[in-house]
Amino acid sequence: METNHLLIKLVLLASCLIHPRVCSPSCNLPAIFNFGDSNSDTGGLSAAFGQAPYPNGQTFFHSPSGRFADGRLIIDFIAEELGLPYLNAFLDSIGSNFSHGANFATAGSTVRPPNSTISQGGSSPISLDVQLVQFSDFITRSQLIRNRGGVFKKLLPKKEYFSQALYTFDIGQNDLTSGLKLNMTTDQIKAYIPDVLDQFSNAIRKVYSKGGRRFWIHNTAPLGCLPYVLDRFPVPASQIDNHGCAIPRNEIARYYNSELKRRVIGLRKELSDAAFTYVDIYSIKHTLITQAKKLGFRYPLVACCGHGGKYNFNKLIKCGAKVMVQGKEIVLAKSCNDVLFRVSWDGIHFTETANNWIFQQINGGAFTDPHIPLKFACTR
């Protein structure tokens, strides 16, 4: 813990030399508006298609919380660090408080509109363009309703929060795996990535046009190190690296990330009065997975909550899946007993312990461009 604090201080000192404004008091970030997929979904898909079943939520919330994890996600730790409440999903009408932001992410979301329905095994219908429509409506309707006063004034954000808020994006992973589902080659997937990023960039421009000025953009994870990718889209042994990760799948992710970073740099020049922070999630997660034992974790390529096989992942029997046997409900995909030491929760998503570790690496600024701590995300 002391090492982490020292690292943050060193990064902050270096940042002061490069970005003098970092040495001034931290930013006023009174709200978060999040766009993304299951990596940051706090209840959107559950509100629309049914709750993510227990043991999802077991560690922190002690019941299903709309998150595909045993506990908190990175977006939850971001909210905690900024002193804000956890984000409610825009789609969740039960007990939601949007006074300090809203979450438009849903599990399975893509940047590009999907070509198949979720019931056909496709992506969420709430793709990034739909999330933007929801956000636009939210701006208008939240202020109209807030002006009624009473409880509405307490549950909806102040008008000025839309220009002061942190706009977080964590999306794109499902756009890449959609190509794998269609048996596309690495080159074929790389070929459509520019179109994905064109639409991603346009989404950011739209948020900017609505007053957004502080952007926090995550790149995508090392796909080739995720149990569900290793199980569902196997590669020859010759294409597996020393850590057990699929080399061509990680190549796709790295290409996407390099192009995303290039787009962010371009947007920084184009929208010069906005602050853009690019977050290298790939490097952090890759380090966690490949150095798991050294960091105190276990079995990084094996899902904690799953059912059978080398990676404890089965696409037909996912975490929490149940069957009826002689009138009795039996859970097939249970949680492991050592979840606090595991990296992968369900083969797709990370455990709360892993998410917390990932956030600690992000928070200090060592893996962001520019190298600034989270609380200084308004720095240009």
The yes-or-no answer on residue 273 being catalytic is no
Segments in 128-172 forming alpha helices (H): 128-146, 151-155, 161-164
Q: What is the dihedral of CA 193, 196, 198, 201, to 10 degrees?
A: -120
Segments in the chain forming alpha helices (H): 2-18, 44-49, 74-81, 128-146, 151-155, 161-164, 173-181, 186-209, 227-232, 247-270, 281-290, 352-363
Rg (CA), the chain: 20
Of 38, 109, 123, 142, the catalytic one is: 38
DSSP 82: T
Tally the C-alpha atoms within 13 A of residue 73's C-alpha that lie toward its C-beta: 24
The yes-or-no answer on residue 272 being catalytic is no
Cα separation, 366 vs 373, in Å, equals: 8
Of 100, 218, 307, 349, the catalytic one is: 349
Three-state SS at 275: strand
Of 37, 170, 175, 346, the catalytic one is: 346
The yes-or-no answer on residue 241 being catalytic is no
Cα separation, 198 vs 263, in Å, equals: 9
C-alpha distance across the termini of the chain, in Å? 29
Cα separation, 178 vs 183, in Å, equals: 9
Strands 32-36 and 101-103 come out as: parallel
What amino acid positions are annotated as catalytic residues? Answer: 38, 346, 349
